[in-house]
Amino acid sequence: MGTRGSALALAQSGQAARELERLNPGLQVETVVIKTSGDLFSALPPKQAQAMAPSTKGLFVKEIEEALARGDVDFAVHSAKDMPAELLPGLSIAAYPEREDARDVFIGRDGVDWKRMPAGWRVATSSLRRKYQLLRHAPGAQVVPMRGNVDTRVRKLSEGVCDGLLLAAAGLRRLGRSDVKAQPIDFEQMLPAPGQGALALEVKTGSRAAEIVSRLDDAATRRAVELERAFLAAVGGGCSTPLAALARPKDGGLELSAFWAREDGSGAARLSEVCRDLSRQAEFTSDLAARLRSDR
């Protein structure tokens, strides 16, 4: 099993490995930690990282995909939100396990509530998606760029570097950080990144590993995440594109709620539409993307 070496990557890949071993008695999964270009990118100062951001989509999976294509590992575990719209030729997603909480959360000091955020409150995030949705909710907030793992960000919050943090609920849960007082943010106020909260287990198409790993696939999660990823492909977004997408069952189909803005925050818009024929999801998401960006 190929995975990144961060605490979160090891926690979530470890969960997948244990479940595969449970479903396949006698199977032993060996963890192979692979350092990615994304790990180096994360270590850069915020301003330098922001300058590189347009070309960084997929950097957190690049070296792992290459190892998988070479046969160095049999399968890989990724955060679905880190996956580029296009996979390397010959690779595919064998399983999307049941999705964790897809919401973002707010962690504020001194018990400050997300719904009553004081003007001038310094909120840390390096995500443009979160930044521009935050400013729609709290126009008086100040955004402080911040990168690093959960522990680093929580420590910086306690040190007074910022007054609040925006993080993914799934990451906190998978790390077992129930000690952190986090307020879930309603989807009506902040939509997640495409695939947020879901894992993607990648394999060589048609391999024996694909057959084994596919036992972890959750059909409902696959339908939702693939529609969100189709929207990502339609927009052609990279890490510097402020976009969000969430698919949920509605009226016998999937309702896709999407947010998009230019890199400077202008033209921000949000739309929701029900896709009733998933066999035409590429056409559906292309139309939705065009409507979001038209005349803005």
Residues marked active site are found at 82
Written in H, E and C, the secondary structure of the chain is CEECCCHHHHHHHHHHHHHHHHHCCCCCCCCEECCCHHHHHHCCCHHHHHHHHHHCCCCCCHHHHHHHHHCCCCEEEEEHHHCCCCCCCCEEEEECCCCCCCCEEEEEHHHCCHHHCCCCCEEECCCHHHHHHHHHHCCCCEEECCCCCHHHHHHHHHCCCCCEEEEEHHHHHHCCCCCCCCEECCCCCCCCCCCCCCEEEEEECCCHHHHHHHHHCCHHHHHHHHHHHHHHHHHCCCCCCCEEEEEEEECCEEEEEEEECCCCCCCCEEEEEEECCHHHHHHHHHHHHHHHHCCC
Report the distance separating Cα 172 and Cα 182, nearest Å: 9
- 123-147 per-residue burial string, b: 16 or more CB within 10 A, e: under 16: bbbbbbbbbbbbbebbeebebbebb
Q: Which amino acid is at 211?
A: E
- Between CA 24 and CA 292 the distance in angstroms is 45
Alpha-carbon separation of residue 112 from 131, 170, 241 (angstroms): 18, 22, 29
